[in-house]
């Protein structure tokens, strides 16, 4: 991929009336300034994919169009280099605010992917014993009406032992089903992905992993991050983990019992690089660094894209899980 000739295409459209306006880069970098800060996570149960987009000096006519469009419009953003564009954001606008800063008017859009449908759409259906987890998830995806759906992993093929009453918002059902079956879900770029926890996309292979090195845009050197998590006491220890002994407690009877869960330290990586829109959560990256102990393959767990069409920012920060156990 080129690392020069930054390019973008931003569209804001109303669900009822269609396209409101489009902004895109030009060879002479004319047009309005746009900045963005997008954060994505592999599991949207606890943390949604969110973004903040700022557009500078919109006309009064455009500002008037947007005055009552909170929760009614969406933003799509594609970025890249040269003639190549890759969509990195399809989000619902939760809030629009404008303020004067010197001679400029800054209009800020607060965005969350899939927010409106996830929290407004309702599901009311009882699934009998023997129904697969995948069938429940596919029905939920139909309600969501995502153009792309990927449901993978061994847990998706499990049969429900006692059936499942699916009642509530779409987000509640996705949260419940995934929690009960050790899965995780996220909506990114208009695509719903559901898979086993800590796994990578079925389409992600080491042969196709995106290489991050000083030659391909990596900035500085990778950093090691430690994360303490609570897991089942009998969960196997992976190569990138260090076990902490299960806690014990003494009952009133004097009997000492071992807790069913224990804490575990995971060793992860943080990498900063020039923005590559093909790097996405759940995908694989290959880090090549002078710090050879950190070189290897990592699953993208969190990613942050930051850009400024008139400034220096056009970067991404990746938090990755070691995949030596894959």
- Would 317 be classed as within a structural domain? yes
- Would 163 be classed as within a structural domain? yes
What is the C-alpha radius of gyration for the chain, rounded to an integer number of angstroms? 22
Residues 169, 190, single domain; the answer is yes
**Residue 264 pLDDT:** 65
Is pLDDT above 90 for 325?
no
Q: Once rounded to an integer, what is the mean pLDDT over residues 164-179?
A: 92
Residues 41, 107, single domain; the answer is yes
Residues 50, 156, single domain; the answer is no
Residues 274, 167, single domain; the answer is no
- Would 75 be classed as within a structural domain? yes
What is the CATH number for 210? 2.40.30
**Structure tokens, 60:** 């009064």
Return the minimum-mean-pLDDT range out of 180-189, 215-224, 316-325.
Answer: 316-325
Residues 124, 109, single domain; the answer is no
Among 67, 98, 113, where does a domain finish? 113
Whether 189 contacts 91, CB under 8 Å: no
Alpha carbon distance 55, 16 (integer Å): 23
Whether 104 contacts 57, CB under 8 Å: yes
Residues 270, 294, single domain; the answer is yes
**Residue 184 pLDDT:** 94
Is pLDDT above 70 for 55?
yes
Question: At a CB cut-off of 8 Å and minimum separation 6, what does 81 contact?
Answer: 1, 2, 3, 4, 5, 6, 7
Whether 269 contacts 287, CB under 8 Å: yes
Q: Once rounded to an integer, what is the mean pLDDT over residues 104-125?
A: 91
Residues 237, 313, single domain; the answer is yes
Alpha carbon distance 211, 288 (integer Å): 7
Residues 128, 109, single domain; the answer is no
- Would 1 be classed as within a structural domain? no
pTM metric for this prediction:
0.85
Among 70, 88, 113, where does a domain finish? 113
**Structure tokens, 326:** 């894959």
**Residue 92 pLDDT:** 92
| pLDDT interval class at 197 (50, 70, 90) | confident
Between residues 261 and 35, which one has the greater pLDDT? 35
Return the minimum-mean-pLDDT range out of 62-76, 106-120, 152-166.
Answer: 62-76
Whether 53 contacts 42, CB under 8 Å: no
| pLDDT interval class at 305 (50, 70, 90) | very high
Query: Closest by alpha carbon to 38, among 150, 175, 188, 146?
Result: 188
Residues 242, 297, single domain; the answer is yes
Residues 297, 231, single domain; the answer is yes
Among 152, 173, 196, where does a domain finish? 196
Residues 243, 176, single domain; the answer is no
Q: Once rounded to an integer, what is the mean pLDDT over residues 229-253?
A: 56
**Residue 241 pLDDT:** 46
- Would 79 be classed as within a structural domain? yes
**Residue 141 pLDDT:** 86
Query: What is the CA angle 125-126-128, rounded to 5?
Result: 145
- Would 39 be classed as within a structural domain? yes
- Would 269 be classed as within a structural domain? yes
Beta pairing class for 314-322 and 50-56: unpaired
Is pLDDT above 80 for 178?
yes
What is the CATH number for 150? 3.55.50.10
Q: How far is CA 57 from the centre of its chain?
A: 30
Which residue range forms the structural domain that includes residue 299? 206-322
Q: pLDDT tens, 284-297?
A: 999 998 877 888 89
Mean pLDDT of all residues in the chain?
84
Number of structural domains found in the chain: 3
- Would 201 be classed as within a structural domain? no
Residues 313, 271, single domain; the answer is yes
């Amino acid at each position: 991929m080129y690392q020069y000739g930054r390019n973008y295409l931003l569209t804001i459209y109303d669900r009822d009336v269609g396209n409101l306006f489009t902004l895109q880069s030009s060879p002479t970098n004319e047009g309005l300034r746009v900045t963005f800060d997008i954060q994505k996570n592999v599991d949207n149960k606890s943390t949604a994919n969110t973004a903040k987009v700022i557009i500078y000096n919109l006309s009064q006519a455009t500002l008037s169009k947007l005055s009552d469009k909170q929760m009614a419009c969406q933003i799509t953003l594609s970025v890249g280099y040269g003639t190549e564009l890759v969509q990195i954001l399809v989000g619902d606008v939760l809030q629009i605010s404008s303020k004067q800063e010197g001679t400029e008017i800054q209009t800020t859009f607060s965005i969350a992917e899939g927010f409106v449908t996830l929290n407004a759409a309702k599901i009311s259906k009882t699934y009998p014993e023997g129904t697969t987890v995948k069938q429940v998830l596919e029905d939920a995806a139909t309600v969501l009406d995502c153009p792309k759906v990927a449901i993978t992993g061994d847990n998706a093929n499990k049969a429900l032992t006692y059936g499942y009453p699916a009642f509530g918002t779409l987000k509640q059902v996705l949260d419940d089903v995934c929690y009960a079956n050790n899965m995780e879900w996220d909506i990114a770029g208009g695509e719903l992905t559901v898979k086993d926890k800590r796994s990578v996309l079925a389409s992600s292979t080491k042969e196709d992993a995106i290489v991050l090195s000083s030659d391909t845009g990596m900035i500085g050197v990778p950093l090691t991050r430690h994360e303490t998590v609570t897991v089942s006491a009998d969960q196997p220890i992976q190569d990138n983990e260090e076990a902490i002994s299960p806690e014990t407690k003494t009952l009133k009877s004097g009997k000492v019992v071992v807790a069913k869960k224990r804490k575990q330290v995971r060793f992860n990586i943080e990498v900063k690089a020039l923005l590559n829109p093909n790097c996405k959560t759940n995908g694989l990256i290959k880090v090549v660094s002078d710090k050879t102990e950190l070189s290897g393959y990592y699953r993208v767990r969190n990613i942050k894209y930051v850009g400024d069409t008139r400034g220096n920012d056009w970067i991404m920060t990746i938090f990755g899980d070691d995949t030596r156990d894959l």
